[in-house]
Structure 1
């Protein structure tokens, strides 16, 4: 009985404490009255906090009663504080409308993107500082991770069909932008987080760790130095978020496809000053092509340290390991009938292989000295290792004793090659905001340095050509006028060093004995290329006008035979301007115009290769572009249009000389002109849409061969288009069921076009895709059907010995769980 008063007192205290709290709830909107997801809501001077949900709603329980200050903050928006009076055991409504803040956007590449749809609002790629895409005076297109997931895409080449003016070039790590090829061997056309990273030339880049794939159209030399004239691809890696998100995804399907992905992010400390994210990807898949397979592993951890509101530090590491075979395309009979050989037929031997390994490590720092002055410093170390053993074509059909070619047999050669590259990329720049009268300015001044080193020990064994009768070795090609100098078979045909590939032989892919061949050794001398540049840029805002002025002084050095007695330096420098103007016609429409000059030196491997026929002049280019960028449906849907005229001088093409398959020639001038349309976002909260169209006329305008003038550039279709739409039922008995439907088309394209009287022509195609989704809480299952009507098509090609067929109809099933 003596304990009863104590118990009553305790119960009274508990009930009293509960009575001293209340609830605050509301919705977070942007300036277009659209909900903002994952906004941080916290109570000043307490540890209480929560993030808004996908519809911008939040509920804060157990808030102390009385006067409180509620703070709403999110990357890309101005922080807003509001007072509120909390009533015991009652819910108080408090809504927020946040305004976009470009200055806060500058930290978006250190803290992850929180948008969760097909639309992306801002980017670094156009100005080196976070800028709303509608304010950049140049066409920038993108594909978000959400669209890639909905389409069950796993590689960069899988998603480029969604971008106007971009199409696949081959099976390799290369694409065409506005008619100009961008390949993995040229780091100037492939960026990771705005930095030049060495990537595989042979294998298309994986995207399980990628937040979005961006393409800035036209040369970006004023910012990045040597850059491809058609455009630059930037892959933005996923960065840590300041709230917990975890997901696991698995895909199985046609061609023995198996993939699994993991994405984990959140806080490592309670105060949110240390964040983490780790992305994992594994693939073990076959292919519709004979002998082709892919074993890939991606491990990509990322950490963000935020010691204060003014200082942010990020560390990114991406490891990629790959095993497979190098697929150099489909060979068909010499009459050029693409249907004469099955699209499944590859020319590999069963014991060929390609092993690759790459590591990108990035350290980035941002510090704000004041509200006006900030500093950014980024360092990336990028390495790539190649171990290759392959049977491949000699780019011609088999020679017969009478000097003609056998249209059913392909002349072959063998490569055994090992190489390793290391890249160092260092970029530093200041941002300074200042006003002159009514004109606000954002000044950027910076310096960057890039070095690429081909490590010692790179070499290649090559077997090719025809055996000589005197036993001295081989000749690269057969000379019928001197047939007695060659070993001849009983039919009088020359005996090849590497047996011809018989397109009619079903056993031609058997294991081959590499010891049977006669090899020549090619040493890859250690070489170093480096570039550094000083650049300045100002974005001036005056009323409805935004003027961008940029200038870069670029210095480029090639060190051939690096650190040897035969070392030779090739030095080049160029001054690169950029001018752009944006006019805000109204709240929804921005008009723009731009002029840019581009620059791209030839790679060290081309300059140093005696078989290529160089040295060659650098590529130079100019772009004039006008366009419009708009937002519709209260900002949910963005659309853009661009008209452009682009010229380039100095492109290299294969000379198509059977006796010298590596010989290159340099074209005088090419031009590309056309119009592009892009659309991305949501028509309604549950209806997403992506669409694009491009008309591109890319031709040779100057050449020493008059027959080449006016020809369409290789793998540069005049028309491309794409549409993809996803609709999810959000109420009723079928709530959570979704449908996806898409189509894309590409018109006919030429293959090799120079020194060829009749260039090969690859037909156009139209493909249709569909998907079915079902989402229940945090669980989603989807079924993707690609190429529904099983259309036989070719994504590109060089000639009828190297054609690149697209995949036939295939089905992928993906299961995702978010927790």
Structure 2
């Protein structure tokens, strides 16, 4: 009998996750599916499945041969840790501030190495500007890959922080299987979910999958809902052994409001005893605060292998989304240290902001992979072309509305903000790229690549803005023996920024470069440790305008330097252990504001650390118990005041997570996951603008599922 012994999935997050076997194997007449980025090896009648992170090279390259830091977090692991959204899946990854702005339902905002990453789905960019779209449901994802540092050679539209690439679940060919589950948890979270997959015909050439989620929930913030409906059907057609076509459809409807209330610093972090607001405080209006977002998405993923030496891949996606967002928030900006308008220091003025957006995006990526040899050198050559077209029609409006007593927040007299037409936006980008991975003596790998981009930004009423750039990358990694593989790499970034500032001026593209060096250690298949050091330079960074925090401007130059260590060790008996530590100095080198030059970048912690351990115990022949626990630390941050605003220091915080799961006959599953187990109040971060971003309080979710 053949059994799966280990499943390697991450550079520093997970090496082996029993039961994760997306893997699969053909044994005893049963077929399971090996993921596109996984490689299976047989040793002593045991199958080792070692993952490759396709985000790094767009090819099936083992992580130990990839000269750049990358983490892969499979769904089994991030759900075990209690992740409810994409940014929470990153909590235990090195170099990542997963929830850069705390409890924020407007989007998945994280920072990588102190800089903002770009969000990708199935290798294609998903978001292009700051408009609100439904956040990707974690229940539809197979894994999340985090590529740290610039990656424009392969993606064009890659920020200096890196890429967060979400990989969708796909149909599995074979005997139909699936899971039906219900959840109940904190803040009256009630959710039902289904994940069904399997072959649809006797020949096994056609397979289907259906992921569905229905949720009715409150949130930590009073009066704010978190309701969702997701339907994600998909089909996989394999007409022959060399051809695969996958179609993925997604309908998603989210209903809620903004969980962030921008609570005044003088009533939170700077408040005297007894005057600190509760983290559930709502300072908006229950009838007027709204976040309604709907999207329809269609994705095509096709691959054809002409021979062992040539493979063609094509990815296409069309997204049709619409959203309405309106929020009432306190005026902490006019006078951050004294925003009150009454003698008792209770009442503050409020602003209202609203927007309505209609978004259409088309993205595509086609590449040809060639394998050949020149003497002792084995080449894996990739040449491709990608294209994106983003269009937005929108309306927006802002103004002043009625004040509120923040200690007795009863909202009255608020009317919707009038919306006026914004200039229509259209942004397109065409890129050509080539990459060669050269392997020598099955020990040394050299990766070199180049790309040419042409980006066009057109704002209604203005001339089109054309930006062109050539970017490069190079990396070298060698295996010294004993599982040691040192590496060095260089990469560049070019990221067109869609939209206008309040002056009607189009944003300039962000640019940057990175030097990275590191050491990967894999003494056995179930162990992987990576140590990396980096130096990144970024220009044209978007920031909030201190004179108008709703506006976005672009500052000068930022340097980010630091190091990371991340590892995992999997022992027999299903023990999973992961740990990570990061140190980051992100320094402002040039800026319009002299106060921040030479200082640590606002809201950026220097220290991040995490550890997670989980183990399964056999209770009876049919029942097992899995226990897990983790701790994560985010260091203190600072927000430097300009134009007389105060400099604000936000304390760091350390949080604990836990898991208890019972499994009966590998069919029934009852799990309870808890995040921020001890319900610590914290902020992430507080800013010199005068507001604080509240952190996520304790969340406990029980899940009852049945697998078949």
TM-score, normalised on structure 1? 0.78
1:345 maps to which of 274, 281, 286: 281
Q: Deviations over 1:537-557 (max 9, x none)?
A: 000000111000000001110
1:648 and 2:557 correspond? no
Q: Distance in 1 between matches of 2:137 and 2:338?
A: 46
2:465 maps to which of 566, 570, 573: 570
Equivalent residue, structure 2, for 1:58: none
Aligned with 2:595: secondary structure? helix
Q: Deviations over 1:281-303 (max 9, x none)?
A: 12211112111110011111121
2:510 maps to which of 619, 643, 646: 619
Q: Distance in 2 between matches of 1:414 and 1:75?
A: 47
2:392 maps to which of 432, 451, 454: 454
Residue 301 of structure 1 contacts residue 317 of structure 1 at CA under 8 Å; is this kept in 2? yes
Equivalent residue, structure 2, for 1:483: none
The 3 A distance-change label for structure 1 pair 379 and 733 is: closer
TM superposition shift of 1:719: 0.6
Q: Distance in 1 between matches of 2:447 and 2:282?
A: 50
Q: What pairs up with 1:214-293 in 2 under 5 angstroms?
A: 214-243=145-174, 244-293=176-225
Q: Deviations over 1:340-362 (max 9, x none)?
A: 22211122201122110122211
Q: Distance in 1 between matches of 2:40 and 2:183?
A: 40
1:325 and 2:214 correspond? no
Q: Distance in 2 between matches of 1:697 and 1:158?
A: 23
TM superposition shift of 1:388: 2.3
Q: What pairs up with 1:69-88 in 2 under 5 angstroms?
A: 76-77=38-39
TM superposition shift of 1:75: 8.3
Q: What pairs up with 1:176-575 in 2 under 5 angstroms?
A: 176-182=111-117, 189-198=118-127, 201=132, 204-243=135-174, 244-332=176-264, 334=266, 337=270, 340-351=276-287, 352-397=289-334, 408-455=346-393, 458-464=394-400, 498-508=401-411, 512-514=413-415, 521-543=419-441, 544-561=443-460, 566-575=461-470
Aligned with 1:499: secondary structure? strand
Residue 56 of structure 2 contacts residue 147 of structure 2 at CA under 8 Å; is this kept in 1? yes
Aligned with 2:84: secondary structure? coil
Structure 2, unaligned runs of 5 or more: 9-15
2:699 maps to which of 795, 800, 810: 810
Q: Distance in 1 between matches of 2:187 and 2:611?
A: 26
Q: What pairs up with 1:671-686 in 2 under 5 angstroms?
A: 671-680=559-568, 682-686=570-574
The 3 A distance-change label for structure 1 pair 663 and 390 is: closer
TM superposition shift of 1:27: 5.4
> Root-mean-square deviation (CA), in Å?
3.1
Equivalent residue, structure 1, for 2:476: 581
Equivalent residue, structure 2, for 1:629: 520
Residue 248 of structure 1 contacts residue 818 of structure 1 at CA under 8 Å; is this kept in 2? yes
For the pair shown, the structure with the greater C-alpha radius of gyration is 1
Q: Deviations over 1:489-530 (max 9, x none)?
A: xxxxxxxxx11222132423x5x4416xxx665321222000
Q: Deviations over 1:321-346 (max 9, x none)?
A: 10001233341364752562221112
Q: Distance in 2 between matches of 1:402 and 1:811?
A: 36
Aligned with 1:125: secondary structure? helix
Equivalent residue, structure 1, for 2:615: 727
Q: Distance in 2 between matches of 1:147 and 1:315?
A: 26
Q: Using the TM superposition, name which of 292-301 and 726-735 deviates more.
A: 726-735
The 3 A distance-change label for structure 1 pair 236 and 334 is: same
1:50 maps to which of 20, 30, 47: 30
Q: Distance in 2 between matches of 1:76 and 1:663?
A: 44
Structure 1, unaligned runs of 5 or more: 1-24, 43-48, 54-71, 81-93, 101-114, 183-188, 465-497
Q: Deviations over 1:241-279 (max 9, x none)?
A: 123321122221111111222111111112211111111
Aligned with 1:180: secondary structure? coil
Q: Distance in 2 between matches of 1:813 and 1:753?
A: 43
TM-score, normalised on structure 2? 0.89
TM superposition shift of 1:623: 0.4
Equivalent residue pairs, number:
681
Residue 298 of structure 2 contacts residue 317 of structure 2 at CA under 8 Å; is this kept in 1? yes
Aligned with 2:163: secondary structure? strand
Aligned with 2:153: secondary structure? helix
Q: Distance in 1 between matches of 2:256 and 2:5?
A: 49
Q: Using the TM superposition, name which of 751-760 and 715-724 deviates more.
A: 751-760
TM superposition shift of 1:142: 2.2
TM superposition shift of 1:394: 4.6
Equivalent residue, structure 1, for 2:678: 789
The 3 A distance-change label for structure 1 pair 401 and 798 is: closer
Q: Deviations over 1:664-685 (max 9, x none)?
A: 4432211111111222352224
Residue 636 of structure 1 contacts residue 682 of structure 1 at CA under 8 Å; is this kept in 2? yes
